[in-house]
Amino acid sequence: MSDKKKNLSEYDIHAVPDASDMRFGILVSEWNDEITFELCRGAIDTLKKHGAKDENIEIHYVPGSFELPLGAQYVAQTGKVDSVICIGCVIQGETRHFEFICNAAAVGITNVGLKTDIPVIFGVLTPDTWQQAKDRAGGKHGNKGDEAAITAIKMVHLKRNL
C-alpha cells in the first residue's frame, strides 16, 4: 500500500472492496490529540469514501497509546464491529517511555486481533519529531488514518471471502 517513496494516502482506489455492510470501531488515543484527531478524521473519511455508513462507525477514546490494546479488546468483545482501528501517536522523547509504549501497543494490538479473531489495525505513528507526525497526519506524507482504514476494509473482506 505504501512504502518509503509513496504517500500514506496513495492507493489504487479500484482495488479496495466495498465497505457498505462493514462495521468499524475506531479507538483514538488522547495523547497528542492534535495529531490523533486528524488521523481519526482521515480514517473516517476513507471508510465513508468506500461505502461505510455513519451508523456503522463508532468512535471511542483512550487516554494514551498504552491503553489501546485493552480498549480494542473491550470494543472487539462487544461483537458490534467487524474491525477495530487503533489510532495513536507516540513521539520519541528523552525518556524510555517511547520504547515501552510503542512495544506495548504493537504487541498488545497484535494479540487482541489474534485473541478476538477480528482485524485490529495498528494506526499508530511512532515518529522522532512533532513535524514528522504532522507530515503523516494530513501533511506532505498523507494521512496514516487513511492507510489504517484501507487495511481494515481489506482485512474484513479477506476474512469474509476465504
Active site residues: 97
Which of these segments, 12-20, 40-48, 87-95, 139-147, binds ligand DLZ (CB under 6 A)?
Answer: 87-95
Strand duo 142-143 + 83-89: pairing: unpaired
Residues 6 or more apart whose CB falls under 8 angstroms from that of 20 comprise 51, 52, 53
Footprint (CB under 6 A) of ligand DLZ, residues 91-150: 91, 93, 97, 101
Footprint (CB under 6 A) of ligand DLZ, residues 57-86: 63-67
Q: Is 31 in the site for ligand DLZ (CB under 6 A)?
A: yes
Which of these segments, 77-85, 88-96, 134-142, 149-157, binds ligand DLZ (CB under 6 A)?
Answer: 88-96
Nearest to 21 by CA among 161, 162, 158, 157: 157
What value does the CA radius of gyration of the chain take, rounded to a whole number of Å?
A: 15
CB distance 66 to 105 below 8 Å: yes
Which parts of this chain interact with ligand DLZ (CB under 6 A)?
29, 31-32, 63-67, 88-91, 93, 97, 101
